[in-house]
Amino acid sequence: MNHLAMVMNQEQLQVPGFNRKYLFKFKPRQYSRGFFITYLMERRQFIQQSALALAILSIYKSNAFANGTQQAYQFKPLRNNIGVFTEQGGTIAWLNSSEGFAVVDSQFPNPAAHVIDELKKLGGNPFKYLLNTHHHGDHTGGNIAFKGLVEHVVAHENSLKNQKSTAEKANSLDKQLLPDLSFGNKGWKTKLGGEKITAHYFGAAHTNGDSVYHFENANIAHVGDLVFNRRYPFIDTANGANIRSWINVLDQISNKFDNNTLFVFGHARDPEKITGNKADIAAFKNYLQSLLDFVSKEVKAGKTKEDLLKATQIPGAPEWQGDGIARSLTAAYAEITSK
C-alpha cells in the first residue's frame, strides 16, 4: 500500500490556474494493470482494500484512454468507507454506506458525472444525499448531474438563497439542481447506514452560508471553503463574507472537533493537502488574522488601496502563496474602511 501511495504521489503534477486541475502521468511500461492487480490480490485484506484498488485502477484506466491529454481525476478512500474526489473545483467527499451514498459538493457537471460513475462501480446502492457546503459554482455546478438520481439535496438556507439568486441573475436556473432540504443556524443531522452525518453552521465566513458536514463515526469533517489550505482565499463580500466573523468561525471549528478529526478542505495549493488536521485550521486562522492586522496597519499609516495592492505576501503568513492575493487585500480593505 505504501508502495502504491508512493507511485501516486510521484506522479501527480499540478497545473497553476484559477481552477486547479490534477494531472497524473502513469508509466504503463513500469506499472502495468496486471502489476496493480497482482500486487493487490496478494494483500491479505483484499476486500477491505478493494475500494483503493478501484480508485487506483480508475485513475489508471482514465489515463490509458485519455489519448494524450493525460487529464484525470482522483477518487481516493480516506477511512470508514469515506473518501474524496478531485478533478476541477472544490473537493468532493463521498460516503459509501450500506443504505446508500452521500456526496458532499459536486464541482461541475463533467466531474460530477465522473464521481457518480466511480460510486456506481462500488455497488447498486441508492444516492441518498447530496450535501452542499455553500453555493459557489465550483461546489454546486455539478448538482444538475444528480437530477433524478439523488433523493435529497441539502444546504444551509443562505446557501440555497445565494445559489438561487446567482442563477437568476445569470439566467441559468435550468442548469441548477437546488437544495430541496435546507436548514437554519441550528444545523441538521441524519443517519445513513452505520454513519451519523451532522451539518454545522457557525456564522458568516467565506460567504454567509458555509456549512461543515461531519461524519461522526469516521470523524471526518468537510469544511468546504472555510479553509483554503496554504492558498489565497476567495472572500465573497457580495454574498455576506466577513473576515472577522470567519476568524470566529475557525475558533468554533477548533473547539468543536478534536485532534483525531480528519478535515477535508475545499481548496489547497498542494493537491496532496486537501485533507489535514486542526493545525491547518489554526494556520488558516493565522493567515486571516495576519491579513487584517497588515491591512489595518497600512490603512492607519495612510496607504491607499493602490499602495496596498502592491503587496506580494502577507507578513506573518508566508505559507500563503500563489495567485489571488489581491482578492484578500481588497476584501480586507473594504471591511476595515467600512466601519
Closest distance of CB 38 from Zn ion, Å: 42
Closest distance of CB 134 from Zn ion, Å: 6
Closest distance of CB 136 from Zn ion, Å: 4
Candidate ranges 17-25, 48-56, 218-226, 276-284; the one touching Zn ion (CB under 5 A): 218-226
Closest distance of CB 185 from Zn ion, Å: 19
- Contacts for 53 with CB less than 8 Å, ≥ 6 apart: 36, 37, 40, 46
Question: What end-to-end distance do the CA atoms of the chain give, in Å?
Answer: 54
Quick one: 51 or 221, whose CB is closer to Zn ion?
A: 221
CA 257 to chain centre: 18
Calculate the alpha carbon distances from 260 to 95, 195, 219, 272 in Å: 18, 17, 7, 19
Cα separation of 165 and 230, whole Å?
30
* Dihedral sign computed on CA atoms, order 114, 118, 123, 128: negative
To which residue does cell 503587496 refer? 311
136 binds Zn ion, rule: CB under 5 A: yes
Among 87, 195, 210, 225, binds Zn ion (CB under 5 A): 225
Closest distance of CB 163 from Zn ion, Å: 12
Quick one: 228 or 333, whose CB is closer to Zn ion?
A: 228
Candidate ranges 36-44, 197-205, 221-229, 302-310; the one touching Zn ion (CB under 5 A): 221-229
Quick one: 58 or 133, whose CB is closer to Zn ion?
A: 133
Quick one: 22 or 234, whose CB is closer to Zn ion?
A: 234
Cα separation of 282 and 261, whole Å?
14
Grid coordinates standing for 208? Answer: 454567509
Alpha helices in 192-260 (DSSP H): 243-256
Quick one: 62 or 86, whose CB is closer to Zn ion?
A: 86
Closest distance of CB 234 from Zn ion, Å: 6
Candidate ranges 54-62, 146-154, 173-181, 219-227; the one touching Zn ion (CB under 5 A): 219-227
Closest distance of CB 31 from Zn ion, Å: 36
Closest distance of CB 166 from Zn ion, Å: 12
Candidate ranges 118-126, 153-161, 217-225, 302-310; the one touching Zn ion (CB under 5 A): 217-225
To which residue does cell 470523524 refer? 219
Count of residues that bind Zn ion according to CB under 5 A: 2
Grid coordinates standing for 290? Answer: 495576519
Calculate the alpha carbon distances from 232 to 18, 35, 227, 267, 289 in Å: 11, 40, 10, 10, 13
Closest distance of CB 139 from Zn ion, Å: 6
To which residue does cell 489595518 refer? 296
Quick one: 62 or 133, whose CB is closer to Zn ion?
A: 133
Quick one: 58 or 86, whose CB is closer to Zn ion?
A: 86
Neighbour-count burial of 147, counting CB atoms closer than 10 A to its CB (0-12 exposed, 13-18 middle, 19+ buried): exposed
* Beta strand pairing call for 100-104 and 127-131: parallel
HSE, CB side, 13 Å, CA atoms: give it for residue 31.
Answer: 20
Quick one: 58 or 208, whose CB is closer to Zn ion?
A: 208
Quick one: 7 or 288, whose CB is closer to Zn ion?
A: 288
Candidate ranges 174-182, 220-228, 296-304, 313-321; the one touching Zn ion (CB under 5 A): 220-228
Binding pattern to Zn ion, positions 139-178, x when CB under 5 A? ----------------------------------------
The residues with which 263 forms a beta bridge, in sequence order, are 221, 276
Element spanning 129, H or E: strand 127-131
Q: Which residues lie near Zn ion (CB under 5 A)? A: 136, 225
